C-alpha cells in the first residue's frame, strides 16, 4: 500500500460527504438559529425527486405533455434530474418554513377565523425547533414509504473509474464530488460577500433588531435562507442518489455527519464547514483505511467530542482568534 | 378565581383518568374454538419492511390455499397479523398479546435474529410453538423453536466450495459488523479449512455505513481470488454499485444479497455481475414446482399482483405453514405439545425449492431443515441462473454439538467458536 | 406561625414541602382527583386483562425515564438526548450482574450497581460538558453523539470475547436471559414479575413524583428553575451553576438508570436498539408533548403515547409514525407548553368565556384555601 497516495485519494470522498451533508444545516442554523432535525429527510427528498425525475416521473404529472427529462440528450439527463431535485427540495423547504418555522400560514388562517395568531415563530427557539422538525422527519419518512414503497430503482453511477497506486482504483464520481463540495463552499462565500441577500443575511445574524430597524425585511431573509438551506440539502441528496440505495430512511446516514460538522465548524458557515470537512474527513480517511470502517467512524465521533469540549465555539472561532491576534501584531 | 382553579386541577386529574382508561382498553379477542388460530408477526413497515413484506404475503397465500382446500382436519385457519413495525419492543408486546389474548396455536414471528432473541425467553416461558423462518447464523437448539430457514453453514457451504473450485483458494471476507455477520465470517473460516482454502483478510462494516471507498481499496490491495460478502441491510446495498463503478469486478459469493432484497432488480446492471448467491430459494430457481404455469411464483403474484418480488424467506414461511398442517393432521389435534411431537417425527414437504420427486425434511432432533441449496449467479445484465445445486444437511447442531430435542429438552444457542479452532 | 407548623406535625411539613410555584396542582380538588386516579391504578389488575397490566408496568417504568428528562430539561434547561444512554447502561449492568450472581442477592446487587454505574456515567459526562464550558445546543448534540458512539460500539460486541463472566454482551442481538428483580436471600420471597412488577413500578413512580415535587419546591428547586430561566444571572447572583447542573444531571442519570432496571426486568432482555436515534428521541417527545415544565405532563404523555403507539401498530401499522409526527408538530406549534398545561389553559379560557356570560355563580366563596 502506498500510504501517501492512498490516503490522499481516500480523503476526497470523505471530505465531500461531510461538507455536502453539512452545508444546508449550517446555513439554517447559523442564520436562523433553527436546528432542523429533518435535515436528513430534506436530503432524502432531493434524492427521491432526482431519481423519480430521472426515471421519467415528470412525464406522468397531470398537464405535462411529455417527459422533459427524457427528451434531453443522454449526457444532460442526469444533471437536469438533479436540478429538478434541488428545486423540488427548495420548494418543499419553503412550504415547511411558511407553515411550521415561521407559522405564517397557520397564523394567517387563524387571524381570519378566531382573530389572533396561534403559532409563535421558531427562530431562536432552539429546542422547540428541534422537536418540531423531528416531528416533520417522522412524518416524511413514513409518508414516503407509504407513497413509494420500501425502495426505488436507482440511478447508475456516472463516469468510470480512476486508477492509481498499485492496482488501486476509485470511482471517478467520488473524486468529482469533492470538487463539487469545494465549489459549493466557494459559491456560498460569493453569495454571502457579494450579493444583496448575503449582506442582509449577515446583518441579520449579527443583530436582528438592528437589522430590522435599518429596514431589512428579516422575514423575507429567513424565508430565502430556509429555501437556500433546503435547496443545498436537496443538492446533497441529488448528488448522492447515484451512489446509494434510495430508501425512505436514507437521510439518517447523513444526519450524524451533518450535525457533528456544524458543531465542530462553529459559527461561520463557509470557514467552519470547510475546516470541519477537512479535519473530520482526514480523521475518517486515515482510520478507515488502516483499521477499517468501524474504526474510522468511532474516531470521527471521538474527535468531534474532543473538539466540542476543548474548542466549544467551533473551529471557525479559532480562525477568528488567530486573525485577531495577527491584526494586533501587525 | 376559585372556580377557574377548581376546573383547572380537575381536568389535569381527569386527563390522567382518561389515559388510564385508554391504556386499559385491551379487551376481548378470542375467535370461535372451532378454528385454528395462527399468529403471523412480520414487518410490514419500518426498516425490515422490504424483506418482511414478502414473508407476510406468502404466509397469507399458504393460509388461503389451505382454507380453500378444506382447512386442516376440516377446521379453517384464522390468523392475526398486526404489524410489529420492525421494532423489537413491539414484537414482544404483540407476542404477549398473541399468546395471552389470542391464544394462538402456532406463531410465526420476526425477521432478524435480534427479534428472535427478544421473544425467545417469553416463548420458552409459555412453551409456545414458534416457527422462525429467516436465514440465520445457526445454532439454536430450543424445544419450542422450529428454525426452518437455512443456516449460515448451509448457505455458505453451498457457494464457498464451488467458488474455491472455480477461482482459487484465496478468500477475502466482508461482513456486517454484528452477530450474524461475525458468526458467518467464522463459518467462512471453518469451511475454508475444510476445502483447502484460506481467508487472507476480513473486514467488518457497521450496519449504518454506506460509503465503501476504503473497503474497496483494501480488497484491491489484498488481491484475493474471490470475496465472500455477508453484508446486510439497505445501507450495505450501495457497496455493489460502488464496487462496480470503481472497476472492481472480482467474483463475490454471498449468503445475503439478491435472494432477500432483490438487488439484481433494484440496482442498474452491472452492479451485481458475477455475484454468486448460496440460497435455498430465490424467485428464479429453476424447479418445476416454482416456475411452471400455476406454480409457486404464479400463485403468489395472482394473490399479490403489486408485489415487487418473491424472496427467500417467503418460501420458508410458505412451506413451514404446510408442514404445520401435516403435523396437526398427523397428531389429530392442535394441542401444542402433541404437534411438537408430531413435528419431531420426521415431517417432510414438497417445497418449491426442491425439484420434482424430492421433499425437504424437518430434522426431528434439531428442529432445522435439510434444505435443497442452490448457487445462483447473476451476469452483467442481471439475468440469474443456477450453476450448482444439492441437498445440504444441517450438520452443526446435529453432528458437532449433538443437539437432540427428541430426548433432551434444551433452550440454547450454540456458536462455532466453542467447537472449531479455526473460528476463534 | 411557629405554633401552627409545630401542631401540624410531620404531615403538615410534608404537605408544605410538596406545594410551591414550580409544580402544578395544589388544591384539595386536585388531590382528590389524584387520589381517585391512584386508586384506579392500584386496582388496575382487578379489572384489566393480564396483558394490559404487564404492558402498563412497562409504561410505568418508562415514565421514570421521562421524569429524568423532565428534571434535567424542563427544570434545569439542559436538553439531553442522552437519557437513554444511562437507561441502557443500567440495563446492561443489571443484566451482567444478575446473570453472573445467581439468586435474588444477585438481582438486588444488580439494581444498586446498575443505578450507581448510570449515575457515575452521567457524572463523568456532565463534568466533561459543564465544567468544560459546553453549553446549550452543543450539550444536546454531544449527548446525541455519545449515544451514537455507544450504539456503534455495542452493535459489534457479538462473539465470545465480549463476555463478562457468564454474560455475553451479544452485540446487535442483545443480551437475553436477564433475571427478574427479586427480593430475598438464597430463596427469593418476592419476585418482580407480572403483577408484582406492576406494583413495584407504580410505587416507584409515586415515590419519585412526590419526591420530585418536594425537591422542585425547595430552595434547591428554585435555583434549578433560575438556571433554566437565565443562567448568567443566576451565576452572577452567586450560585455555583456548574455544580447544580452537574448534580441534577447525575441525579437524572440515576433516575434513568432505575427506569432501565425496571424495564429490563419486564423484558428479561436488552439490546442496542434502546440506543437508536428513534429511541433517544422518545423521551424528548414524551416530555415535549406532556409539558416539559410540569411533572404530571410527562407521566401522562408517556403512558398515552406508548399506549397509542401499540394501538396504532396493531390497527393502522402504516400510518403510526405519521400520526406520531403530526401529534408532535401540533403540540409544539399550538401548545408549546405541552399537552397538560395546554389543557389547563384551555379549561381556564373556557372558564373565562363562561364567566363573561353568566353572573349568578361567580360570587359565592367556596371556602377553600388555595396557595
Q: Residues near B84 by Cβ (< 8 Å), separated by ≥ 6?
A: B41, B42, B43, B46, B90, B91, B94, B109, B110, B115, C313
pLDDT at C141 > cutoff 70: yes
Same domain, B361 and B412: yes
Determine, for residues A156 and B241 on separate chains, whether the beta-carbon distance falls below 8 Å: yes
The grid cell for C111 is 439494581
Q: What is the Cα Rg of chain B in Å?
A: 23
CATH number of the domain bearing residue B232: 3.40.50.2300
What pLDDT is attached to residue A2?
52
Q: Which residues of A touch C135 (CB under 8 A)?
A: 312
Give B395 or C191, the one with higher predicted confidence.
B395
Determine, for residues C333 and A103 on separate chains, whether the beta-carbon distance falls below 8 Å: yes
Determine, for residues B417 and C159 on separate chains, whether the beta-carbon distance falls below 8 Å: yes
Tell me the mean pLDDT in the region A300-321: 84
DSSP string covering B174-207: EEESSHHHHHHHHHHHHHHHHTT-EEEEEEEE-T
The number of C-beta contacts closer than 8 angstroms across B and C is: 208
- The backbone torsions φ and ψ at residue B106, rounded to the nearest 5 degrees and listed phi first, read -155, 150
Answer for the pair C255, C71: CB distance below 8 angstroms, yes or no: yes
What pLDDT is attached to residue B33?
63
Alpha helices in B24-77 (DSSP H): 49-68
pLDDT at A1 > cutoff 70: no
Answer for the pair B352, B359: CB distance below 8 angstroms, yes or no: no
pLDDT at C3 > cutoff 60: no
Average pLDDT, chain B: 87
Q: At what angle do helices C83-100 and C50-69 cross, to 10 degrees?
A: 120
List the single best residue of B10, B14, B24 to mutate versus C (max C Cβ within 10 A).
B24
Q: Which of B263, B279, B295 is the last residue of a domain?
A: B279
Same domain, B161 and B146: no
Answer for the pair C127, C135: CB distance below 8 angstroms, yes or no: no
User: Which residue of A10, A167, A173 is in closest CB contact with B214?
Assistant: A10
Answer for the pair A247, B267: CB distance below 8 angstroms, yes or no: no
List the single best residue of B3, B8, B123, B126 to mutate versus C (max C Cβ within 10 A).
B8
The Cα angle at residue C14 between residues C12 and C17, in degrees rounded to 5:
110
* Distance in Å, alpha carbon of B88 to nearest chain A alpha carbon: 18
User: Which residue of A128, A256, A309 is in closest CB contact with C134?
Assistant: A309
For residue B216, CA distances in Å to A116, A125, A246 come to 60, 44, 21
pLDDT at C363 > cutoff 90: no
Determine, for residues C41 and B24 on separate chains, whether the beta-carbon distance falls below 8 Å: no
Q: How confident is the model at residue A288 (pLDDT cuts 50, 70, 90)?
A: confident
Q: Please name the chains neighbouring C, where neighbouring means 3+ C-beta pairs under 8 angstroms.
A: A, B
The grid cell for B31 is 375467535
User: Which residue of B14, B24, B120 is in closest CB contact with C33?
Assistant: B14
Q: Which residue of B has its CA nearest to C277?
A: B208
Q: Considering only CA atoms, which of C91, C107, C90, C68 is closest in space to residue C250?
A: C68
Answer for the pair C91, C265: CB distance below 8 angstroms, yes or no: no
Determine, for residues B217 and A17 on separate chains, whether the beta-carbon distance falls below 8 Å: no
On the CB side of B214, how many CA atoms lie within 13 Å of its CA? Answer: 31
Report how far residue C104's alpha carbon sits from residue C190's, in angstroms, rounded to the nearest whole number. 9
Among A315-324, B149-158, C220-229, the range with the most confident prediction by mean pLDDT is: B149-158
User: For residue range C291-348, what is the model confidence (pLDDT) as tens digits?
Assistant: 888 888 899 999 988 888 777 766 766 677 788 788 888 888 887 777 777 777 777 7
Q: Which residues of C touch A119 (CB under 8 A)?
A: 333-334
Average pLDDT, chain C: 82
Q: How confident is the model at residue A253 (pLDDT cuts 50, 70, 90)?
A: confident
Report how far residue B81's alpha carbon sits from residue B102's, in angstroms, rounded to the nearest whole number. 11
User: Which residue of C79, C134, C329 is in closest CB contact with A127?
Assistant: C79
The grid cell for C56 is 402498563
Same domain, B214 and B271: yes
For residue C296, CA distances in Å to B18, C63, C66, C287, C291 come to 14, 10, 10, 10, 8
Domain ranges of chain C: 20-280
* Distance in Å, alpha carbon of B77 to nearest chain C alpha carbon: 20
Least confident of B26-30, C26-30, C171-175, C233-237: B26-30
The grid cell for A10 is 481516500
On the CB side of A148, how many CA atoms lie within 13 Å of its CA? Answer: 21
The grid cell for B341 is 411431537
Count of domains for chain B: 2
User: For residue range B53-67, what is the model confidence (pLDDT) as tens digits?
Assistant: 999 999 999 999 999
Residue-range definition of the domain harbouring residue B256: 153-279
- The backbone torsions φ and ψ at residue A169, rounded to the nearest 5 degrees and listed phi first, read -155, 160
Q: How confident is the model at residue B5 (pLDDT cuts 50, 70, 90)?
A: very low
Interface predicted TM-score (ipTM) of this complex, two decimals: 0.78
Q: Which residues of C touch A307 (CB under 8 A)?
A: none
What pLDDT is attached to residue C8?
57
Q: Considering only CA atoms, which of C260, C258, C270 is closest in space to residue C99?
A: C270
Alpha helices in chain A (DSSP H): 3-27, 39-54, 74-96, 104-113, 126-148, 172-194, 196-206, 208-213, 218-240, 252-265, 269-291, 293-310, 315-329
B-contacting residues in A 5-34 (Cβ below 8 Å): 6, 10, 13-14, 17
Please report, rounded to a whole number, the percentage of residues in chain A having pLDDT higher than 90: 25
Same domain, B112 and B178: no
Report how far residue C224's alpha carbon sits from residue C215's, in angstroms, rounded to the nearest whole number. 10
Is the backbone peptide bond immediately before C308 cis, with ω within 30 degrees of 0? no
* Distance in Å, alpha carbon of C72 to nearest chain B alpha carbon: 23
What pLDDT is attached to residue A33?
75
Dihedral sign (CA C34, C38, C44, C47): negative
Q: Which of B279, B309, B335 is the last residue of a domain?
A: B279
Report how far residue B297's alpha carbon sits from residue A108's, in angstroms, rounded to the nearest whole number. 55
pLDDT at B83 > cutoff 80: yes
Determine, for residues C333 and A106 on separate chains, whether the beta-carbon distance falls below 8 Å: yes
Report how far residue C223's alpha carbon sits from residue A237's, in angstroms, rounded to the nearest whole number. 46
Q: How confident is the model at residue B424 (pLDDT cuts 50, 70, 90)?
A: low
Give B122 or A71, the one with higher predicted confidence.
B122
Tell me the mean pLDDT in the region A189-195: 88
pTM attached to this predicted model: 0.82
Q: How confident is the model at residue A298 (pLDDT cuts 50, 70, 90)?
A: confident
Give C176 or C208, the one with higher predicted confidence.
C208
Q: Considering only CA atoms, which of B337, B344, B342 is closest in space to residue B326?
A: B342
pLDDT at C1 > cutoff 60: no
User: For residue range A200-232, what is the model confidence (pLDDT) as tens digits?
Assistant: 888 877 777 788 888 878 788 888 889 999 999
The grid cell for B249 is 469486478
Q: Which residues of B touch C304 (CB under 8 A)?
A: 19, 22-23
* Distance in Å, alpha carbon of B16 to nearest chain C alpha carbon: 6
DSSP string covering C171-202: GGG-EE-PPPPEEEESEEEEE-SHHHHHHHHH
Answer for the pair B368, B379: CB distance below 8 angstroms, yes or no: no
Q: Which residues of C touch B12 (CB under 8 A)?
A: 24-25, 30, 33, 296, 340, 343-344
Answer for the pair B210, B179: CB distance below 8 angstroms, yes or no: no
Q: What is the DSSP letter of C18?
A: T
Alpha helices in chain C (DSSP H): 2-17, 28-42, 44-47, 50-69, 83-100, 103-130, 136-155, 194-216, 219-229, 231-236, 241-267, 277-290, 296-315, 320-334, 339-357
Q: How confident is the model at residue C356 (pLDDT cuts 50, 70, 90)?
A: low
| Beta carbons within 10 angstroms of residue C318's beta carbon | 17
pLDDT at C131 > cutoff 50: yes
Q: Residues near C363 by Cβ (< 8 Å), separated by ≥ 6?
A: none
Answer for the pair B117, C176: CB distance below 8 angstroms, yes or no: yes
Report how far residue C182's alpha carbon sits from residue B81's, in angstroms, rounded to the nearest whole number. 35
Amino acid at each position: 500500500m502506498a500510504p501517501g497516495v492512498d490516503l490522499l485519494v481516500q480523503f476526497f470522498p470523505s471530505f465531500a460527504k461531510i461538507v455536502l451533508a453539512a452545508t444546508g444545516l449550517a446555513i439554517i442554523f447559523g442564520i436562523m438559529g433553527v436546528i432542523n432535525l429533518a435535515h436528513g429527510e430534506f436530503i432524502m427528498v432531493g434524492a427521491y425527486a432526482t431519481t423519480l425525475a430521472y426515471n421519467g416521473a415528470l412525464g406522468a404529472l397531470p398537464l405535462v405533455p411529455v417527459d422533459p427529462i427524457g427528451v434531453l440528450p443522454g449526457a444532460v439527463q442526469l444533471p437536469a434530474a438533479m436540478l429538478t431535485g434541488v428545486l423540488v427540495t427548495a420548494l418543499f423547504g419553503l412550504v415547511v418554513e411558511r407553515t411550521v418555522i415561521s407559522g405564517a400560514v397557520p397564523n394567517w388562517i387563524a387571524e381570519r377565523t378566531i382573530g389572533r395568531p396561534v403559532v409563535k415563530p421558531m427562530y431562536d427557539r432552539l429546542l422547540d425547533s428541534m422537536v418540531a422538525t423531528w416531528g416533520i422527519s417522522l412524518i416524511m419518512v413514513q409518508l414516503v414509504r407509504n407513497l413509494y414503497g420500501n425502495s426505488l430503482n436507482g440511478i447508475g453511477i456516472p463516469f468510470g473509474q480512476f486508477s492509481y497506486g498499485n492496482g488501486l482504483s476509485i470511482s471517478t464520481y467520488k473524486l468529482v464530488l469533492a470538487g463539487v463540495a469545494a465549489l459549493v463552499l466557494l459559491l456560498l462565500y460569493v453569495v454571502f460577500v457579494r450579493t444583496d441577500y448575503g449582506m442582509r443575511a449577515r446583518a441579520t445574524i449579527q443583530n436582528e433588531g438592528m437589522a430590522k430597524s435599518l429596514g431589512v425585511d428579516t422575514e423575507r431573509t429567513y424565508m430565502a435562507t430556509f429555501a437556500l438551506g433546503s435547496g443545498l440539502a436537496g443538492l446533497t441528496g441529488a448528488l448522492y442518489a447515484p451512489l446509494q440505495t434510495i430508501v425512505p430512511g436514507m437521510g439518517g446516514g447523513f444526519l450524524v455527519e451533518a450535525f457533528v460538522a456544524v458543531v465542530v465548524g462553529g459559527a461561520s458557515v463557509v470557514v467552519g464547514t470547510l475546516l470541519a470537512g477537512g479535519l473530520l474527513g482526514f480523521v475518517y480517511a486515515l482510520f478507515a483505511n488502516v483499521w477499517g470502517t468501524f474504526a474510522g467512524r468511532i474516531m470521527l465521533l471521538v474527535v468531534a467530542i474532543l473538539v466540542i469540549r476543548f474548542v466549544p465555539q467551533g473551529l471557525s472561532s479559532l480562525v477568528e482568534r488567530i486573525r485577531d491576534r495577527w491584526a494586533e501584531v501587525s | 378565581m376559585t372556580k377557574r382553579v377548581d376546573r383547572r386541577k380537575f381536568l389535569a386529574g381527569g386527563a390522567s383518568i382518561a389515559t388510564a382508561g385508554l391504556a386499559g382498553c385491551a379487551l376481548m379477542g378470542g375467535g370461535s374454538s372451532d378454528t385454528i388460530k395462527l399468529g403471523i408477526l412480520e414487518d410490514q413497515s419500518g426498516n425490515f419492511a422490504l424483506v418482511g413484506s414478502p414473508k407476510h404475503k406468502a404466509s397469507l397465500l399458504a393460509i388461503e390455499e389451505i382454507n380453500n382446500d378444506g382447512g386442516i382436519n376440516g377446521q379453517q385457519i384464522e390468523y392475526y397479523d398486526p404489524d410489529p413495525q420492525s421494532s423489537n419492543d413491539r414484537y414482544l408486546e404483540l407476542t404477549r398479546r398473541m399468546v395471552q389474548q389470542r391464544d394462538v396455536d402456532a406463531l410465526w414471528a420476526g425477521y432478524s435474529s435480534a427479534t428472535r432473541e427478544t421473544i425467545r425467553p417469553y416463548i420458552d416461558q409459555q412453551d409456545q410453538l414458534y416457527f422462525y423462518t429467516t436465514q440465520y447464523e445457526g445454532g439454536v437448539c430450543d424445544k419450542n423453536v422450529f428454525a426452518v430457514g437455512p443456516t449460515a453453514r448451509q448457505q455458505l457451504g453451498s457457494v464457498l466450495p464451488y467458488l474455491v473450485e472455480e477461482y482459487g483458494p484465496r478468500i477475502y471476507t466482508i461482513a456486517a459488523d454484528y452477530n450474524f455477520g461475525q458468526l458467518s465470517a467464522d463459518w467462512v473460516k471453518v469451511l475454508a479449512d475444510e476445502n483447502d482454502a484460506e481467508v487472507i483478510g476480513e473486514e467488518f462494516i457497521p450496519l449504518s455505513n454506506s460509503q465503501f471507498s476504503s473497503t474497496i481499496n483494501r480488497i484491491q490491495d489484498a488481491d484475493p481470488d474471490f470475496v465472500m460478502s455477508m453484508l446486510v441491510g439497505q445501507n450495505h446495498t450501495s457497496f455493489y454499485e460502488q464496487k462496480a463503478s470503481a472497476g472492481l469486478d472480482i467474483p463475490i459469493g454471498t449468503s445475503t444479497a439478491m435472494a432477500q432484497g432483490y438487488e439484481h432488480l433494484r440496482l442498474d446492471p452491472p452492479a451485481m455481475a458475477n455475484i454468486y448467491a448460496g440460497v435455498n430459494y430465490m424467485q428464479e430457481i429453476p424447479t418445476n414446482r416454482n416456475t411452471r404455469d400455476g406454480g409457486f411464483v404464479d400463485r403468489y403474484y395472482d394473490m399479490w399482483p403489486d408485489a415487487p418480488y418473491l424472496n427467500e424467506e417467503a418460501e420458508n414461511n410458505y412451506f413451514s405453514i404446510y408442514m404445520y398442517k401435516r403435523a396437526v393432521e398427523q397428531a389429530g389435534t392442535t394441542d401444542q405439545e402433541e404437534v411438537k411431537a408430531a413435528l419431531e417425527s420426521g415431517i417432510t414437504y414438497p417445497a418449491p425449492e426442491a425439484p420434482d420427486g424430492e421433499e425437504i425434511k424437518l430434522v426431528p432432533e434439531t428442529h432445522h431443515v435439510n434444505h435443497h441449496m442452490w448457487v445462483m449467479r447473476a451476469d452483467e445484465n442481471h439475468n440469474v441462473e443456477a450453476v450448482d445445486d444439492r441437498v445440504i444437511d444441517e450438520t452443526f447442531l446435529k453432528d458437532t454439538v449433538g443437539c437432540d430435542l427428541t430426548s433432551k429438552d434444551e433452550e440454547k444457542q450454540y456458536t462455532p467458536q466453542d467447537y472449531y479452532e479455526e473460528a476463534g | 406561625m411557629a405554633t401552627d407548623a409545630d401542631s401540624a406535625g410531620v404531615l403538615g411539613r410534608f404537605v408544605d414541602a410538596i406545594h410551591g410555584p414550580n409544580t402544578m396542582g395544589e388544591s384539595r380538588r386536585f388531590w382528590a382527583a389524584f387520589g381517585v386516579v391512584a386508586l384506579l391504578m392500584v386496582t388496575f389488575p382487578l379489572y384489566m386483562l393480564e396483558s394490559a397490566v404487564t404492558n402498563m408496568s412497562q409504561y410505568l417504568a418508562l415514565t421514570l425515564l421521562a421524569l429524568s428528562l423532565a428534571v434535567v430539561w424542563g427544570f434545569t434547561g439542559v436538553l439531553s438526548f442522552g437519557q437513554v444512554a444511562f437507561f441502557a447502561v443500567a440495563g446492561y449492568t443489571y443484566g451482567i450482574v444478575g446473570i453472573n450472581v445467581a439468586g435474588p442477592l444477585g438481582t438486588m446487587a444488580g439494581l444498586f450497581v446498575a443505578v450507581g454505574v448510570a449515575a457515575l456515567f452521567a457524572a463523568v459526562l456532565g463534568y466533561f460538558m459543564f465544567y468544560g464550558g459546553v453549553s446549550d445546543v452543543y450539550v444536546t448534540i454531544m449527548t446525541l453523539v455519545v449515544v451514537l458512539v455507544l450504539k456503534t460500539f455495542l452493535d459489534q460486541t457479538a462473539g465470545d470475547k465480549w463476555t463478562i463472566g457468564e454474560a455475553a454482551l451479544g452485540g446487535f442481538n442483545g443480551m437475553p436471559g436477564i433475571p427478574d428483580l427479586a427480593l430475598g436471600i438464597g430463596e427469593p420471597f418476592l419476585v418482580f414479575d407480572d403483577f408484582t412488577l406492576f406494583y413495584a413500578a407504580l410505587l416507584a413512580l409515586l415515590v419519585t413524583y412526590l419526591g420530585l415535587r418536594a425537591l422542585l419546591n425547595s430552595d434547591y428547586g428554585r435555583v434549578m428553575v433560575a438556571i433554566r430561566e437565565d443562567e448568567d444571572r443566576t451565576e452572577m447572583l452567586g450560585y455555583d451553576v456548574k455544580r447544580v447542573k452537574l448534580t441534577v444531571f447525575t441525579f437524572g442519570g440515576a433516575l434513568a438508570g432505575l427506569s432501565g432496571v425496571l424495564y429490563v426486568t419486564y423484558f428479561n432482555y436488552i439490546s442496542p436498539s434502546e440506543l437508536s436515534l428513534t429511541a433517544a428521541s422518545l423521551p424528548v417527545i414524551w416530555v415535549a408533548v406532556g409539558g416539559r415544565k410540569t411533572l404530571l405532563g410527562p407521566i401522562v404523555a408517556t403512558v398515552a403515547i406508548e399506549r397509542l403507539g401499540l394501538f396504532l401498530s396493531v390497527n393502522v401499522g402504516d400510518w403510526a409514525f405519521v400520526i406520531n409526527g403530526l401529534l408532535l408538530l401540533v403540540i409544539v406549534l399550538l401548545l408549546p407548553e405541552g399537552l397538560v398545561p395546554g389543557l389547563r389553559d384551555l379549561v381556564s379560557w373556557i372558564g373565562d368565556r363562561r364567566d363573561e356570560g353568566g353572573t349568578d355563580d361567580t360570587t359565592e366563596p367556596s371556602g377553600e384555601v388555595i396557595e
